[in-house]
């Protein structure tokens, strides 16, 4: 047998054992899964076990509940999540004491991208869905990509795919300037809006970070920009790299025409510089998803993937967990869970719901995420629910933040009433939501949308579990068209 003329050095050199602090987060778990599938020993810790940590253990990881110095024993490198304060955590402090390399998640993500040709998908809104769509298109094109997404993709049944090909598709998060650690060959920017103002001074500071991200592509790559977004549009004159544009705007190179909505999906014609490539059908609702699909089409064309393959990839896409996820219909009530936590995302999600379900009453149940975001966007949040027939607000999910005096879920509820919403409820206790909804809000035929980036999903699933046992008042009968399927 002939010896090969060259050998490929091992990924990450002599590193064999990676310990991950905060391994249960959606971003950390995707990296952990890639490393496990690449043959690394992975250990990790988190405050609580979860469905995510259970999956990682099934793949071979060792997961500890809680943080203790001895958990890092034998590790060659320690990676910590953005939710971890390295100056306070016993495991990161022990890594420093032992002089074990200690790196943030963003650096590990950057190193994974550096090993391949990268496609980075960034944007204030839509990046998880767009990354998933791009991943499916690239996979359908035969590239066998590695894919790292900030959500569980239905088509993969995972938030990570460890491909053998030379391409990697990564969701590029702007929080904590994480995406500036990446070295993409193709940089997609879906949208830019004021967000993460605990990290960025103002919108101009955020725009500069996105400019740096889009400018990081090499001369043979491209920045792929949504021309419908005015802030993304503003980047164009500041970039010295090749640019491809997409959107509904007539000046976009890749655009959609004849958009039609059909229940929970849509159809449209894909046009490239005035030439029709053909019809596209999506299994997800909303005009925002048409734009997300156009981004994936543009990436596919950059990679010379035939349109038939691009279409096949996108038509396989059935959604991402917690992105307009239909959990089920019981007693005529359709329960939907969505990650929307910014006023624009909420407005777009409710518009999509109205288009998909014109005959249903829409009940929006909102858990604000972060005290600072609630304070900064309080009026925008209060105005975002105009398409909801009923608004129910629960208490803020603080996550990494300490409470801010005067900032609570009641603030949003009060402002919504002041701005003219006629049916607003404030239920501070998350655990009380299912019972309150059944006793005071819901009617047969309603669609109830649980919205937020915290743990509002728990209330959604609890409602779904209790609805079968709920006896409706005799005055509320279930119409045949809304009977449980």
Annotation says 128 is catalytic:
yes
Tell me which of 128, 178, 245, 298 is the catalytic residue: 128
What angle in degrees, to the nearest 10, is found between the helix axes of 287-302 and 307-315? 140
Q: What is the pLDDT of residue 6?
A: 59
Q: 325-469: which CATH architecture?
A: Alpha-Beta Complex (3.90)
Annotation says 474 is catalytic:
no
Annotation says 349 is catalytic:
no
Fold of 17-103: Rossmann fold (3.40.50)
Whether the Cβ atoms of residue 420 and residue 383 lie closer than 8 Å to each other? no
Q: What is the pLDDT of residue 95?
A: 94
Tell me which of 91, 127, 245, 253 is the catalytic residue: 127
Q: In 3D, which of 128, 121, 161 has the Cα closest to residue 145?
A: 161
Query: Where along the chain do its domains lie?
Result: 17-103, 116-315, 325-469
**Which amino acids are annotated as binding site for ATP, given as ranges?**
123-129
Tell me which of 140, 171, 195, 345 is the catalytic residue: 171
Q: 116-315: which CATH architecture?
A: 3-Layer(aba) Sandwich (3.40)
3-state per-residue secondary structure call for 267-317: EEEEEECCEEEEEEEECCCCHHHHHHHHHHHHHHHHCCCCHHHHHHHHHCC
* Sheet hosting strand 62-65, strand order edge to edge: 62-65, 41-46, 17-21, 77-80, 102-104
Q: What is the pLDDT of residue 4?
A: 56
Q: What is the pLDDT of residue 3?
A: 59
**Which amino acids are annotated as binding site, given as ranges?**
123-129
Q: What is the pLDDT of residue 140?
A: 94
Q: Say if strands 222-226 and 146-153 run parallel, antiparallel, or are unpaired.
A: unpaired
Pick out the chain residues at pLDDT < 70. 1-13, 196-197, 471-485
Angle at 236 between CA 230 and CA 241, to 5 degrees: 150
CA distance 301 to 111: 26
């Amino acid at each position: 047998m002939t010896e090969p003329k060259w050998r490929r050095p091992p990924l990450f050199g002599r590193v064999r054992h990676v310990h991950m602090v905060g391994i249960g987060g959606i971003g950390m778990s995707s990296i952990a899964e890639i490393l496990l599938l690449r043959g690394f020993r992975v250990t990790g810790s988190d405050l609580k076990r979860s469905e995510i940590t259970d999956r990682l253990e099934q793949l071979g990881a060792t997961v500890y509940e809680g943080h203790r110095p001895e958990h890092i024993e034998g590790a060659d490198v320690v990676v910590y999540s953005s939710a971890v304060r390295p100056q306070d955590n016993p495991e990161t402090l022990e890594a420093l004491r032992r002089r074990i390399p200690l790196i943030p998640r963003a650096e590990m993500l950057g190193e994974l991208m550096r090993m391949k040709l990268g496609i980075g998908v960034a944007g204030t809104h839509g990046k998880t869905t767009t990354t998933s769509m791009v991943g499916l298109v690239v996979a359908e094109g035969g590239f066998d990509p590695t894919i790292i997404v900030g959500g569980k993709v239905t088509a993969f049944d995972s938030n990570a795919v460890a491909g053998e090909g030379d391409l990697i598709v990564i969701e590029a998060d702007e929080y904590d300037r994480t995406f500036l650690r990446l070295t993409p060959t193709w940089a997609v920017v879906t949208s830019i809006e004021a967000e993460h103002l605990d990290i960025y001074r103002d919108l101009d500071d955020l725009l500069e970070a996105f400019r740096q991200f889009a400018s990081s592509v090499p001369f043979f790559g491209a920045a792929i920009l949504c021309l419908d977004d005015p802030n993304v549009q503003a980047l164009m004159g500041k970039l010295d790299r090749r640019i491809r544009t997409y959107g509904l705007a007539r000046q976009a190179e890749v655009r959609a025409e004849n958009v039609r909505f059909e229940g929970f999906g849509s159809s449209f014609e894909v046009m490239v510089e005035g030439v029709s490539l053909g019809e596209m059908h999506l299994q997800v609702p909303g005009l925002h998803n048409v734009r997300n699909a156009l981004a994936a089409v543009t990436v596919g064309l950059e990679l010379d993937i035939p349109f038939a393959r691009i279409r096949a990839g996108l038509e396989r896409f059935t959604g991402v967990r917690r992105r307009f996820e239909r959990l089920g219909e019981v007693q005529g009530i359709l329960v939907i869970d969505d990650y929307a936590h910014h006023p624009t995302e909420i407005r777009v999600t409710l518009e999509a719901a109205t288009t998909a379900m014109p005959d249903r009453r829409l009940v929006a149940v909102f858990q604000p995420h972060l005290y600072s975001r609630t304070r900064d966007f309080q009026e925008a949040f209060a105005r975002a629910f105009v398409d909801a027939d009923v608004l129910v607000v629960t208490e803020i999910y603080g996550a990494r933040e300490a409470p801010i005096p005067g900032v609570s879920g009641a603030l949003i509820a009060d402002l919504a009433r002041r701005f003219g919403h006629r049916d607003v409820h404030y239920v501070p206790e998350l655990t009380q939501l299912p019972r309150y909804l059944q006793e005071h809000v819901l009617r047969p035929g309603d669609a109830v949308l649980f919205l937020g980036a915290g743990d509002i999903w728990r209330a959604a699933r609890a409602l779904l579990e209790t609805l079968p046992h709920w006896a409706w008042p005799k005055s509320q009968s279930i119409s045949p068209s809304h009977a449980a399927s």
